[in-house]
Structure 1
Amino acid sequence: MPLFALRYRHPTLDKQLTKSRLRSEVRSMCKARRAGVPVPAVHLLDERRGCVFMERLAGGTVRDRLRGMYQKRKAGASPGEPGEADACKPYERGVAEELARLVVRLHDAGVVHGDLTTSNFMMSGPEAGGGKMHVIDFGLAGTSTSNEDRAVDLYVLERAVATTHPGSGAFVREVMSVYKNESKSGDKVMQRLAEVRARGRKRECFG
């Protein structure tokens, strides 16, 4: 995965920033892996060329899996039936629980991802269920034990899922419920998340 030079930046500054970002990305991935979070194995960091060589994963993104599922659900819905289910379907619940547990492991290990979207979780195995979930793309990740940073991570995930997957309210609720129950700081992070949501609504209203 190469990082391309940004021509509007001074070459020396660009190299320094690229090197720093690559080191941070690899450091976060290694820390997550040591904590038991399935991430691609890093084979080589080539700072001179601005490349990270890592394991290639087979499978599809959670985004694609959920999108297909919601499209099928919408196509099979009866006229006048609400678009958002009140409860997760079994497969949907399983995906939500696994995703939440991976985020819990990340946060409890002191890693914040910075870009939690359903595109950055990959699943192997058949679409009907089973397989293993991996977390990918640590380009914006960093180390932090701040509940504020963890709450922002969850807020990014919440907004990304709502925007990408209409009718996913039950999925999001399941993710947050599992996180709250299984994280060492679940209650405190949820309190912070409520504050982050309020700030987000205020920005949407007033710019």
Structure 2
Amino acid sequence: PILLKYRFKKHYRHESLDTSLTRSRVAGEARALLRCLRSGVNVPGIRMVDAADGVLGIEWIEGKSVRKLLPGGAEEEEEELENEQENLDEEEDPLREYDISVDTLMSLIGIELAKMHLADVIHGDLTTSNMMLRHPTSFTSLELNTPTELVLIDFGLSYQSSLIEDKAVDLYVLERAFASTHPDSEPMFAKVLTAYGERIGPKEWPAVKRRLDDVRLRGRKRSMVG
């Protein structure tokens, strides 16, 4: 099966401008996915591209978003309450069926982000909703020591850049997403950064880390000013 992403027409924009923007963004997302695929980043495969009509066909990923698998991140709270008794075990440890720990999951996230940044692709909208764990029943690779793999999705706001600033901002956006969605997430994100630093290497990591600290400081100042 495939997933079709369709960019609907924005009627508040001039028709020719809307057509041009739609074509550009669909083509841009396809290019980012292709660049990631060629660099060994786990992203959905491309099945078809129709930039003129704003349609992108990508591989269907059988699994769940990382947001649903981490504490505090369930996306359908009311539905969970209705099924609380039926799914009690899964809610206590939703990663059980994927046979990995939270620490391993954080390492997988850090590794994929580093691979993406080494390919000079900036995601632009990193959240735990834009990451999926492939279900073990649909994962057949024997190259990894884990029964699943992490897949980065939704590259609609992505772009190409080799700038340390852009990579640091990408990480900061994810850090803020962790903080706002998952309680007590500091240790989890620290493990993401550890795996990221190990994979991106000693040549780039110190510079990215310093810039991330700068971005954090700017973010705190903006919060104080309001």
Scaled to the shorter chain, the TM-score interval is 0.7 to 0.9
> 3-state DSSP class of the match of 1:45?
strand
- After TM superposition, the structure 1 = structure 2 runs for residues 99-114 of structure 1, keeping only pairs within 5 Å, are 99-114=109-124
Alignment of 1:37-116 (within 5 A): 37-67=41-71, 91-116=101-126
- Number of the residue aligned with 2:216: 197
Pairwise CA RMSD: 2.2
SS in 2 for 1:172: helix
Residue matched to 1:135: 152
Corresponding position of 2:133 = 123
**Given the superposition, is the C-alpha separation of residues 68 and 204 from structure 1 closer, same or farther in structure 2, using an over 3 Å criterion?**
closer
Map Cα deviations across residues 108-166 of structure 1 (whole Å, 9 max, x no partner): 0110111111111111225xx73121110000111111000000000000000111101
Structure 1's consecutive aligned runs of 4 or more residues displaced over 2 angstroms after TM superposition are: 67-70
2:25 corresponding residue in structure 1: 21
Shift, 1:69, TM fit: 9.1
**2:96 corresponding residue in structure 1:** none
Correspondence for 2:169: 152
1-side partners of 2:224 and 2:181: how far apart? Answer: 21
The answer to whether the 8 A contact 2:67-2:73 is kept is no
Residues 53-75 of structure 1, C-alpha deviation per residue, up to 9 Å, x if partnerless?
111110001111113799x9xx9
Query: Secondary structure at 2:157's aligned position in 1?
Result: coil
Q: Any gaps of 5 or more consecutive residues in structure 1? A: 77-89
TM-score by length of 1: 0.86
Find the partner of 1:175 among 192, 199, 202: 192
Q: Could you tell me which amino acid in structure 2 is paired with residue 14 of structure 1?
A: D
Number of aligned residues: 191
Contact 2:73/2:182, CA 8 A, preserved across alignment: no
Higher mean Cα deviation, 60-69 or 25-34? 60-69
Task: Quote the Cα distance in structure 1 between the aligned partners of 2:64 and 2:210.
Answer: 33
* Post-superposition offset of 1:178: 1.7
